[in-house]
Amino acid sequence: MKPARAARLSVWGRIVTAVPLGYAATSLLVMALARLLPGDRAQATVLATLLSFGIYAALIVYVFAASSARKAFFVTLALAALGGGITWLSIASGGRL
């Protein structure tokens, strides 16, 4: 594969990782965070939602700063799995942790 084509594919891979997968990972992490934060549900949800902007921005910066698009993809996927797992465990245990 030509270097220019490989570079374009890497950038497109990072864009796909950062935008839809990053958004999904951020959403799952925010759901988990809202269940883990102390206080009543409304305050925890508002705080987690406010933190989501920073989480999403940091994730996008990481995706484009990572040494490879593959590494960025798998780290983002792992973060999504972590957020989803914590949320699932919280729901399965009957409420907030």
- Planar angle of CA 9, 52, 89, nearest 5 degrees: 95
Would residue 97 count as lying in a domain? no
Q: Is the pLDDT reported for residue 79 higher than 80?
A: yes
Number of domains into which the chain is organized? 1
Let me know if residue 54 belongs to a domain: yes
pLDDT at 86: 96
Domain encompassing residue 13: 3-92
User: pTM of the full predicted structure?
Assistant: 0.90
Reported as a single tens digit per residue, the pLDDT across 3-60 is 889 889 999 999 999 999 999 999 999 999 999 999 899 999 999 999 999 999 999 9
Amino acid residing at 2: K
Q: Residue 2's pLDDT is what?
A: 85
For residue 97, the model assigns a pLDDT of: 60
Rounded distance between C-alpha atoms, residue 93 and residue 59, angstroms:
29
- Treating both helix axes as pointing N-terminal to C-terminal, what angle do 69-92 and 41-65 enclose, rounded to 10 degrees? 160
